[in-house]
Structure 1
Amino acid sequence: MRIETTHRVPFPLADVLAWHERPGAIVRLTPPGLAGADDPAADGLQVGRVVAAHLGPSRLPDLLRPHWVLRHREHETGDENGRFVDQQVHGPWRDWRHEHRFTADDHGTLVHDLIDVELPRPLERLAGSVESQVRRLLAFRDRQLHDDLRFHAGFAGTPRRTIALTGSSGLIGTQLAALLETGGHSVRRVIREGSVGPGEISWDPQAGALDAADLEGVDVVVNLAGRSIATRWTDGTRREIRSSRIHGSALIARTLAGMRDGPSALVQASAIGFYGPRRPGELLTEADPGGEGILADLVRDWERAARAAGEAGIRTTFLRTGLSLSDGGGPLLPQLPMFLAGVGGRLTEPEAMTSWITLDDVVRAFAHAALSAEVEGPLNTVGPQPVTAREFARTLGSVLHRPALVPVPALGPRLLLGADATDELVRTDQNVSDARLEASGYEATHRTVEAALRHVLRR
């Protein structure tokens, strides 16, 4: 079976080829729910380079995720064109060959994909479905390439930065590192390992161990570290969630504050949980003093833990993220099986407001905050058009061509998450404003929930 597509991106050939040759390109071109690269930091298109990935969401054990190994077989570049070829070494297909061609024209660069795939015999009857999925993937890659190049173009006059990143293996961190690296910036991953490789920094937040010397030459620190809150909140889990945020943030802030010529900025993860779970009828802005509840108290203390950096004159930004939409994790993934089975519906009261944002817009917002010298203080990181729970469910059903008529009984999330987590993560009503984010110069790529879901789910 042969699949061919051609897209145009309105950027010079040299920029398009450079983007593909840098670390992170394969990560940015692969939907997180579809596959995860074994070595996200690998770069280059040189002949013989091996690219390997595990298929399926990272939440699944590797034993349940098929391993796909490709090798770059051919690579050519010139002033007017470029070309490289991926050939399957091991994987789910009997054969797979993907030829990428790039041609300069008066309006930018033509990106031509030519895929020859031979399906395993048991899947031959599904050839039409496989072709449809591959074409959706190629359309996703085209949009991703266009949107990332547009983002990088906005910082074309900014010197390339060196950025230290905690939480680099998480859903947001993996994509953020890749976005920055495809823009030519250097990322130093801060990891909880005693033995580190090139470009890595070791730390231990619980022990208060972070060597300031490892941050010399770093321009910005982005702190995404923190245990996932999408779990049952036992007493032990709540302590882990809290300590993983407070200790790490405080350690980074006081380390930066004690440096004579260290990083000039700290970009700190935060959350709209700051405002409390239910604020019906209110438009929530960064001027709000915050609400009440477990998450509100946590986020308030989380931001306070980084105060030492700001007091030392270091530009400090808190990105209060909303519900991050992705097919690889977050609040959307658990809903997909129910919707695909035709029994999906809203999770809370029909008029309760949902402040959503796509994973890609979250990632670009973090990069925007890291690279923009004037961005400081709290910043609501949400899409420009929050929707009601009813509208979200109806739109998700429409995008998946499934009904969305029956509300999910409250008992379901309570059995999965427990009463406290359900109350603060699921039964929410938050209409959060993105006005300050937009005023800072950031422009959301996905401005409506329908556009967001179609991008995330490749529909």
Structure 2
Amino acid sequence: MGLTKSSVLNFPQDEVYAWHSRPGAIVRLTPPWMPVRIEQEADDLSDGVAVLGFPLGLRWVARHSGAESPDRFVDELDSAPLRWAVRWRHTHEFEALGPDRTRITDRIDSNVPGLMLKSMLAYRHRQLADDLSALHRAADGGMRPLTVAVTGSNGTIGQALTALLSTAGHTVIRLVRRPTDQPDERFWDTEIPAPTLLQGVDAVVHLAGASIAGRFTAAHRHAIRASRIGPTLSLAQAAATTENGPKVFVSASAIGYYGPDRGDEELTEASDRGEGFLADVVAEWEQAAQPAIDGGLRVVNVRTGLVQTPAGGVLKLQYPLFETGLGGPLGDGSQWQSWIGIDDLVDIYHRAIYDDALSGPVNAVAPTAVRNSEYAATLARVLRRPALFRVPSIGPRILLGQEGAEELALASQRVLPSRLTEVKHTFRRPELEDTLRHVLGRTAESTQ
């Protein structure tokens, strides 16, 4: 039994092959709906090993061989007990059709049913084309290889971003809160960073912070604030005072800055801050980066909307409910939801690193905010399920408490990406349905 998929990319053969050889390639190509974690990447396409972790402790060891640069390489399943039941040989082929055109072909010889593989291969081909296009736009915009230090690299956004950066040719240093001897990691004391923490670093991307999801108890509120304000302040101070240190400081932020309910007001980076706990936290969070500004660094605060990926965040929570046909609008469904696809978000972070035109707050949202009722209808349509079960507003209030429900589940913010529009930023997928179909593997080609 086998499955073959081909597509043509408008990029040179050498470039397409080289992309696959860089750290992060397997992360970028793994569909976010698959229950798998990349535990180890192959460091050599001719004789490397990649290890994927599945539920129940199963490990998929893929051994690479047969590399003939820039034409082909192979990976085969080489781990017990899976190899006793699963046959797997995946040949990756690259054929030059001209100086700037390459046909990529995936040939899979396996006893895994082909229907289960179609959506995976369709995703991989779309993702590869999108990533290469994004990297070309970045190169045209002045991107050059940099050394980038990243906090929160193990989070949903951090994993996607570090993979994008390394496949783009950047050197990524993960700042971790434990002793380490790994060459691509440095120990980060969040209270008193080591003087050498950021030496030789060109840019810092600061993503770390406790999840805001949950009931807004005193302990949860403290964790949200304490994990953001102090660590950001100390890291910004380190960035500002390090000799041969960074010139750019990019910090995560959130559209919670605008408050939980601004009605139909269109909110831009120039809009006043709102009221409420999250608005207060975000304002302090952004202010904590001031030492970097005072030190002459370019600082960007990425005010992120509702991130769309089944690997984490709101979609991870809603996807199973809608998949079983039990999803529907929250409350009256009139609240505005300003969303962003995971891949468009990491593109924005990447641009913030290299584009000197961006500084200060940047709204990381798609240009097409939708009401909650439209979001529910779109997700249901993508999954081919009804959206009949309207969730009364008392539900989130019971689950999250009054404040948590108003700040999170029932929040309404109609946010526009004005700064990105001004710099003519290209979104991969500006429409919600297209984004959901991609990240959930529900495109037309996935079922053909």
Give the alignment's TM-score, normalised by structure 1.
0.91
Contact (CA 8 Å) 2:59, 2:79: kept in 1 or not? no
Out of 163, 187, 200, which is 2:172 matched to? 187
Note the residue ranges of structure 1 that are not aligned, 5 or more in a row: 56-61, 120-126
Out of 410, 413, 432, which is 2:393 matched to? 410
Instruction: Out of 89-98 and 384-393, give the one that drifted further.
Output: 89-98
Out of 96, 104, 108, which is 1:111 matched to? 104
SS of the residue 2:252 aligns to: strand
Contact (CA 8 Å) 2:32, 2:440: kept in 1 or not? no
Confirm whether residue 94 of structure 1 aligns to residue 86 of structure 2.
yes
Counterpart-to-counterpart distance in 2, 1:74 and 1:397:
44
Q: 1:217 to 1:282 in 2, by over 3 A?
A: same
CA RMSD of aligned residues (A): 1.7
* 1:250 counterpart residue number: 233
Out of 388, 394, 400, which is 2:377 matched to? 394
> Which amino acid letter does the alignment assign opposite residue 113 of structure 1?
D
Contact (CA 8 Å) 1:316, 1:376: kept in 2 or not? yes
Confirm whether residue 433 of structure 1 aligns to residue 432 of structure 2.
no
SS of the residue 2:429 aligns to: coil
Per-residue CA distance 1:53-94 (angstroms, 9 max, x = gap): 123xxxxxx6x463222111321114xx33333334343852
* 2:188 counterpart residue number: 203
Counterpart-to-counterpart distance in 1, 2:162 and 2:43:
13
* 2:51 counterpart residue number: 52
Per-residue CA distance 1:412-452 (angstroms, 9 max, x = gap): 33344333222211101111001211323421101111101
Counterpart-to-counterpart distance in 2, 1:279 and 1:15:
47
Instruction: Out of 157-166 and 284-293, give the one that drifted further.
Output: 157-166
Q: How many percent identity over aligned positions?
A: 42
Counterpart-to-counterpart distance in 2, 1:136 and 1:32:
12
Structure 1 position 194, deviation (Å)? 2.1
Counterpart-to-counterpart distance in 1, 2:4 and 2:301:
44
Structure 1 position 338, deviation (Å)? 1.6
* 1:33 counterpart residue number: 33
* 2:339 counterpart residue number: 356
> Which amino acid letter does the alignment assign opposite residue 248 of structure 1?
P
Counterpart-to-counterpart distance in 1, 2:331 and 2:366:
20
Contact (CA 8 Å) 1:348, 1:426: kept in 2 or not? no
Count of residue pairs the alignment pairs up: 436
SS of the residue 2:215 aligns to: coil
Contact (CA 8 Å) 2:328, 2:387: kept in 1 or not? yes
Contact (CA 8 Å) 1:253, 1:306: kept in 2 or not? yes
Counterpart-to-counterpart distance in 2, 1:75 and 1:287:
53
Q: 1:415 to 1:116 in 2, by over 3 A?
A: farther
Counterpart-to-counterpart distance in 2, 1:226 and 1:196:
24
Counterpart-to-counterpart distance in 1, 2:337 and 2:58:
35
> Which amino acid letter does the alignment assign opposite residue 105 of structure 2?
H
> Which amino acid letter does the alignment assign opposite residue 400 of structure 1?
L
SS of the residue 1:391 aligns to: helix
SS of the residue 1:212 aligns to: coil
Counterpart-to-counterpart distance in 2, 1:441 and 1:15:
26
Structure 1 position 339, deviation (Å)? 1.0
Out of 275, 297, 300, which is 1:317 matched to? 300
Instruction: Out of 252-261 and 187-196, give the one that drifted further.
Output: 252-261
Per-residue CA distance 1:100-158 (angstroms, 9 max, x = gap): 11111135111101111124xxxxxxx3xxx2231111111111111111111123353
> Which amino acid letter does the alignment assign opposite residue 27 of structure 2?
V
* 1:275 counterpart residue number: 258
* 1:219 counterpart residue number: 202
Contact (CA 8 Å) 2:39, 2:51: kept in 1 or not? yes
* 2:3 counterpart residue number: 3
Counterpart-to-counterpart distance in 1, 2:278 and 2:397:
17
Counterpart-to-counterpart distance in 1, 2:428 and 2:214:
30
Counterpart-to-counterpart distance in 1, 2:122 and 2:398:
38
